[in-house]
Amino acid sequence: MGANVIPLFVVVSLSGAFLISLFGRKLKWFPDLIGSAFTALLLLLSLYAVKIVAEAGTLVYSAGSWKPPVGIVFVLDGLSSFMLVTVNLVAFCVAMFSINYMAKYTSKWKFYTLFLLMLAGMNGVLITGDIFNLFVFLEIASVASYALVAFGTERHELEAAFKYAVMSTVGSLFILLGIVFLYSATSTLSMADIALSLSPGKHSGILMLVSILFLMGFGLKAALVPFHAWLPDAHPSAPAPISAMLSGVLIKSLGIYSLCRIIFCVLGVSSQLLSILMVLGTLSMLIGVFLAIGQWDLKRLLAYHSISQIGYVILGISLGTPLGIIGGLFHLFNHSIFKSLLFLNSGAIEYTTGTRDLKKMGGLSEKMPITSTTALTAAMSISGIPPFNGFWSKLLIIIACVQAAKYWYGFWAVLASILTLASFTKVMKYAFFGNLKSQWAMIKEVPVFMKLSMIILAVICVFGGLLFFPGLREPFLLKASGVLLDAKTYASTVIRLVQ
Amino acid sequence: MTHTLYILCLALFCIGLYCILRKRNIIKIIIGVIISEYAVNLLFILVAYRMQGRSPIYSPDAAIENMVDALPQAVVLTSIVIGLATTALLIAIAMRIYEKYKTFDITKINELRG
Amino acid sequence: MSKEHDRGMSVIVKTVTRLTVGLILLYGIYILSHGHVSPGGGFAGGVIIALSFIHLMLAYGKEAALKRIPSQALSFFEGFGAIMFLAIALLGFTGGYFFLNFLPKGEPFKLFSAGIIPLCNIAISLKVGAGLFAIFIALVLLKFEGENK
Amino acid sequence: MLELYLLLIFMIVGAIVAVELKDLLSSVIAVGAVGLGLSITFIVLKAPDVAITQLVVEILCLIILIRSTLKRDLPFSTSGRWFLNTMIALSFIGIFLFVAYKAIGDLPPFGYPIMKVASTYLKQGLAQTGATNIVASVILDYRAYDTLGEATILFTAVIGVLALVRRIGRKKSVEQEGSDE
């Protein structure tokens, strides 16, 4: 087995999508089964990937037996396997949730096909070691997500999808332009080879241009603050499981992972770039949370919080210290879990009551005990209440800020956390507590698969903090942060392993 | 002076970008996206050109040397297809928007605030 | 508008179409099957094949084109092309690598050479031709229904 | 060399016409002219594969765009802060062009690429893959995995368009769906 497992991440999800498109329109049960079974298989594969990376270190695999730089190489290292687990865990829960939730929509098989294609795109981005291949799979995930945002084909959904599609396409064009300049300067497309060919003295101008282009391009994909305008429209407009995917993992794997991989491992990280990222991260953190406080639409509020939490991740990673990077990555994982859970909760509320307006809800905890308990868990997690996972990662980021003598950044992080708590107190008060409104007297708890996926995510929220404790952190978090810390060795490791 | 062609190509890219940023009509925005894609593809082929080069195709009767760089050509083929896929989806969204709002003008299609 | 397009265009257009559409289709097949020895390949060939059907549809109206290639066949070809390409990639595992060119390379400049490349071209052209024609049909039908209201 | 400059200037003029024309149909046709110019430029740059693909994609795009814009010419509106927004866009583009102008001095001059990887393809492509068209050997053998992605992206677009043109996106209420399936 060993390295042969790497291409399977793309192959399994792609073959799921193709099979659903062939047989799904006749057999009603087929898309549900394939969607859940294949994502479960992918989750098992990614856990296996963590295991083999922990045992054997970085693995590489050459497609078609062509060694890089001639062919395309797959690279599976600590960061990739960490992201693979995050993506596929959320995808499995979302696929299970969709079994009941997507019954509201027509053409379920199209939904599952696009969902698996998006998953294939994300997995492809995570395992590739070739910069143009990264672009291709990034576009697969993006194109699938444009269609999924507009899946309900209502007015505002189409409008949000158009805005998202145009801005994201501009981002892709910037990324492609950056790839053209890199190719012209180095005459190769393999990331490891580019990293070895670039020399700071000869290529300083082009490195700056390419860094700016990638920052704009991946910033648009990750919705960092000057480029965030599409997110508050696109994420609420999508069906709830897709909002969970978009906010939970898509902006991270396409935006943050790709940006970190290229800036740290390929272009070589410089202190100016890190300080730019730090400022952008802090701005995202504060502006996102300030915009979120005034919202009354539940999903829109959650979308603004995504911008804010992405800011935490960027702030942690751009500190550049070991503790900061671990904190940032840990927060990335935690945010995927609790933000998907919150979006699934909002989907469950919409499923039973048909509204997203906080003012119209009230007292739902009586009628929907499981939804409200899991939502309470996630809300405490996102606002950093001690035993839950969000607390530990925020604590790590703040300690790292203090250690690096960046006291103001630490202060802003604490402030944003307090504002998050305030905003979620509002959500819990208006949605779940208080008096039950008379129009909701007849509602029932959601169906079984929706309950199950919310419970799984909530359990991870409660026990997620354990991942940082010794014994569990070595294969998972430390391997991932090690990749970004020793980014200079990435290229030489890959080249050494393929020989 | 050796890079004038690149600058002209980037100017083409910027015309597309200007169109996306400033025009208030959905079809015009799509046109801007198409023009920008053209410019990026052209730049990729431009950096691959070799003086007095030949196409990278062998012929049975003549020995070929001095072929142009073949990798960007392969990559641009992929990127053209990606452009086509994006454009098709954008047009589909645009036509649905027209059907719902009866206009292509995005100042009149303004239900969302963000 | 809708009726006019069901009938198709004028008799001159129809006659010219009858003469040219076969040639365009044949040219598409030529382009795709010689993709590994001359410029062209699966993608361009597939688009040309799709264009020949679009040509037919524009001239004769949508019924005439859909009679020759029904939409179930379109979706089947599309899925089949995709599965075929993926299967070729997976068959490379028989030689030990994903996407390995496992067939004999043959003699250069011949039609049957270069291992899996012609097969990949056929798979891609099936998928591209069917897919693009499906996109076109979807968009055109959408337009007609929108205007009937 | 001169023909390249002429073609590029033709394309830039065509693009400006396409952007600034009031009539949507003319604007789409101007884009067609730009695409045709691009296709000829590819031939001049010795990329026949790309030229063929560009040409056919161009035709397809044009047909779809014309179908969608036919009889839909609408008066344009200008938003309130027209001058300010234009200035912001132009200054952004100006800064971008300036940075690019400073940076591309580091690139190898036009006509003299480094050809580090490409020389492997050109020298050994025929022997290793058996395809005389080196571009075909790159897209379907050396980098076939990219082509899988390319085919997938088109598949995604097809399914996406089919999903978008559904008449009814949502069923009317949750109670109904139990009964009709």
Neighbours of D43 (CB within 10 A): 17
Per the CB < 8 Å rule, is D49 touching B73?
Answer: yes
The helix/strand/coil state of B57 is strand
pLDDT digits (tens, 9 = 90+) for A90-143: 999 998 888 888 888 878 888 898 999 999 999 999 988 889 999 999 999 999
Neighbours of A272 (CB within 10 A): 10
| 186-215 of A, contacting D, C-beta below 8 A | 186-189, 193, 197, 202-206, 208-209, 212
Q: Give me the pLDDT at residue A20, please.
A: 87
Side chain identity at C32, as an amino acid letter? L
Gap from C121 CA to chain D (nearest CA, Å): 8
Structure tokens at A162: 């158009």
Residues 6+ apart with CB under 8 A from B59: D132
Neighbours of C76 (CB within 10 A): 15
CA angle B95, B101, B103 (to 5 degrees): 70
Give yes or no for B77 touching C (CB within 8 A). Answer: yes
Q: How far apart are CA A252 and CA A320, in angstroms?
A: 18
Q: How confident is the model at residue D13 (pLDDT cuts 50, 70, 90)?
A: very high
pLDDT digits (tens, 9 = 90+) for B4-40: 888 888 899 999 998 888 888 888 889 999 999 999 9
Q: How confident is the model at residue C2 (pLDDT cuts 50, 70, 90)?
A: very low
Gap from A30 CA to chain D (nearest CA, Å): 14
The per-residue DSSP string of D67-80 comes to: HHHTT--------T
Strand partners for A105: D170
Instruction: Give chain D positions within 8 Å (CB) of C49.
Output: none
Q: What is the mean pLDDT of residues D38-62?
A: 88
Q: Is the pLDDT of residue D174 over 50?
A: no
Instruction: Search chain B and give the residue with CA nearest D155.
Output: B85
CB pairs under 8 A between B and D: 240
Structure tokens at B81: 């297809």
A28 — alpha (psi -120 to 50), left (phi > 0) or beta? Answer: alpha
Q: Is the pLDDT of residue D72 over 70?
A: no
Q: Which residues of D166-180 are buried (b: 16+ CB within 10 A; e: fewer)?
A: beebeeeeeeeeeee
Instruction: Give chain D positions within 8 Å (CB) of B17.
Output: 93, 96
Q: Give me the pLDDT at residue D39, please.
A: 92
pLDDT digits (tens, 9 = 90+) for D86-135: 888 888 889 988 888 888 877 888 878 787 777 788 877 777 777 778 88
Is C95 exposed, middle or buried (CB count within 10 Å of its CB: 0-12, 13-18, 19+)?
middle
Q: What ipTM was assigned to the predicted interfaces of this complex?
A: 0.91
Q: Is the pLDDT of residue C142 over 70?
A: no
Helix/strand/coil (H/E/C) assignment for every residue in chain C? CHHHHHHCCCHHHHHHHHHHHHHHHHHHHHHHHCCCCCCCCHHHHHHHHHHHHHHHHHHHCHHHHHHHCCHHHHHHHHHHHHHHHHHHHHHHHHHCCCCCCCCCCCCCCCCCCCCCHHHHHHHHHHHHHHHHHHHHHHHHHHHHHHHHC
CB B104 within 8 A of CB B95: no
Q: Which residues of C100-127 are buried (b: 16+ CB within 10 A; e: fewer)?
A: bbbbebbebbeeebbbbbbbbbbbbbbb
Q: Give me the pLDDT at residue B33, please.
A: 92
Q: How confident is the model at residue D176 (pLDDT cuts 50, 70, 90)?
A: very low
Instruction: Give chain A positions within 8 Å (CB) of B109.
Output: 159
Instruction: Give chain C positions within 8 Å (CB) of B60.
Output: 108-109
pLDDT digits (tens, 9 = 90+) for C92-138: 776 667 666 666 666 666 666 667 788 888 888 888 888 888 888 88
- Count CA within 13 A, CB hemisphere, residue B18: 20
Q: How confident is the model at residue D75 (pLDDT cuts 50, 70, 90)?
A: low
For residues C21 and B106, which has the higher predicted lDDT (pLDDT)?
Answer: C21
Is B64 exposed, middle or buried (CB count within 10 Å of its CB: 0-12, 13-18, 19+)?
middle
Tell me how far CA of residue A82 lies from CA of A44, A77, A403, A410, A469, in angstroms: 13, 9, 25, 26, 16
Q: Is the pLDDT of residue C147 over 70?
A: no
- Count CA within 13 A, CB hemisphere, residue D13: 7
What does R_g of chain A's alpha carbons equal in angstroms?
Answer: 21
Per the CB < 8 Å rule, is C97 touching A15?
Answer: no
Give yes or no for B97 touching A (CB within 8 A). Answer: yes
DSSP conformation class of A445? -
Cis peptide upstream of residue A69 (ω within 30 degrees of 0)? yes
Q: How far apart are CA A255 and CA A235, in angstroms?
A: 15
Q: Give me the pLDDT at residue A462, please.
A: 85
> Which H or E run includes A74?
strand A73-76
> Which H or E run includes A430?
helix A407-431
* Cα dihedral A96/A102/A104/A105 (nearest 10): -170
Helix/strand/coil (H/E/C) assignment for every residue in C24-42? HHHHHHHHHHCCCCCCCCH
Q: How far apart are CA A277 and CA A274, in angstroms?
A: 5
CB A382 within 8 A of CB A420: yes
Q: Give me the pLDDT at residue B98, please.
A: 83
Phi, psi of B30 (to 5 degrees): -65, -40
Instruction: Give chain C positions within 8 Å (CB) of A19.
Output: 83
Q: How far apart are CA A265 and CA A267, in angstroms?
A: 6
Per the CB < 8 Å rule, is A166 touching B33?
Answer: yes
Give yes or no for D161 touching C (CB within 8 A). Answer: yes
For residues D29 and D68, which has the higher predicted lDDT (pLDDT)?
Answer: D29
pLDDT digits (tens, 9 = 90+) for B65-95: 778 888 888 899 889 989 999 998 998 888 8
Q: Give me the pLDDT at residue C119, please.
A: 81
What does R_g of chain B's alpha carbons equal in angstroms?
Answer: 19
Per the CB < 8 Å rule, is B79 touching A165?
Answer: no
Residue with tokens 């691959």: B48
Helices assigned H by DSSP within A150-264: 155-186, 191-197, 204-222, 231-237, 240-245, 258-260
Q: Where are the domains of chain A?
A: 281-468
Residues 6+ apart with CB under 8 A from A487: A264, A265, A268, A269
Q: How far apart are CA A453 and CA D20, in angstroms?
A: 52
Q: How confident is the model at residue D78 (pLDDT cuts 50, 70, 90)?
A: low
Gap from C64 CA to chain D (nearest CA, Å): 19
Q: What is the mean pLDDT of residues D77-83?
A: 63
Q: Where are the domains of chain B?
A: 4-52+67-101
Structure tokens at A429: 């008060």
Q: How confident is the model at residue B100 (pLDDT cuts 50, 70, 90)?
A: confident
Residues 6+ apart with CB under 8 A from D118: A187, B48, B69, B70, B71
> Which H or E run includes A59?
strand A59-62
Fold exhibited by the domain B4-52+67-101: Helix Hairpins (1.10.287)
Helices A369-382 & A448-463 angle (0-180, nearest 10): 30
Q: Which residues of chain A fall below pLDDT 70?
A: 1-2
| 50-89 of B, contacting A, C-beta below 8 A | 69, 71-72, 75, 78-79, 82, 85-86, 89
Q: Give me the pLDDT at residue B35, please.
A: 92
Q: How far apart are CA C128 and CA A81, in angstroms?
A: 33
Q: Give me the pLDDT at residue C148, please.
A: 44
Residue with tokens 């088109």: D154
Q: How far apart are CA D39 and CA D152, in angstroms?
A: 25
